[in-house]
Amino acid sequence: MLAAELIDPMLPALKPTDSVGQALDWMQEHRIGQLVLIDQTDYQGIISEELLLDIADDERPLSSMMHLFEQVNAYEGQHLFEVLGLVMQHRMDVIAVLNEGREFLGTVSTSELLRQFAQELGVQEGGAVLMLSLDERDYSMAEISRLIESNNVKIISSYFSSAAYGMPDRSRLTLKLNRQNITAVISTLERFGYQIEAAFANVPVESIDQDRLDSLLRYLNT
């Protein structure tokens, strides 16, 4: 999903002539702590509720206020993951979406980005979550997929966390699967030398190496 598709048409954009009081009213109405400031179609930055609350004069125009994140924005063709990376890096509640001519197109909220990200990961789908601990040198998604699919199970989504420096055995692969009972999957992966760090499912998971997995396997009721 691209940034242009994530724009919330209900979120207003502030103008330099708007007052502090107007901005605070809109933030309260939309239950958000930041709003985008534009001058015509020119992106000016972000106005923060935290800064506005320190202003005693509600009639003071926003043109005299400090603007945040003047150089931080998304472009209409950027992917959801790129936009989410920006807002998380800068801890933003909203981000402006511009076209290639740097004209303002609309606002995307962080809450909407997180909702869409969750959908992309398939978290709303039923099925187990499996975490593998592995050396980066041994990471082959094609091989892992083949082993899992040999048990008639499919991977809905995956997330790979690189190892910390000097800790090559601490990489982690998190898999969302389309089945709840993954006993056979665990057995297959173990047989081929993969280390299961944890499994989350809403049916009991048995293992051919139960002693080692006893402290690792947990179950969630959904």
**Adjacent-strand bridge partners of 68:** 46
pLDDT of 207 = 46
pLDDT of 163 = 63
CATH class of 123-219: alpha beta
Q: Are strands 217-219 and 195-201 parallel, antiparallel or unpaired?
A: parallel
Average pLDDT for residues 79-87, to the nearest whole number?
Answer: 92
The overall average pLDDT reported for the chain is 85
Domain 3-119 superfamily per CATH:
CBS-domain (3.10.580.10)
pLDDT of 209 = 46
Is the pLDDT at 52 greater than 60? The verdict is: yes
Domain boundaries of the chain, sorted by first residue: 3-119, 123-219
**In this prediction, what percent of the chain has a pLDDT beyond 90?**
58
pLDDT of 28 = 95
Is the pLDDT at 222 greater than 50? The verdict is: no
Angle, helices 80-90/110-121, rounded to nearest 10 degrees:
130
d(CA 202, CA 221): 5
pTM flag (> 0.85): no
Average pLDDT for residues 191-219, to the nearest whole number?
Answer: 61
Average pLDDT for residues 103-126, to the nearest whole number?
Answer: 83
Is the pLDDT at 185 greater than 60? The verdict is: yes
**In this prediction, what percent of the chain has a pLDDT beyond 70?**
85
Provide DSSP, 120-182.
Answer: HHTTTS-S-EEEEEE-GGG--HHHHHHHHHTTT--EEEEEEEPPPTT-GGGEEEEEEES-S--
Q: Is 55 helix (H, G, I), strand (E, B) or coil?
A: coil
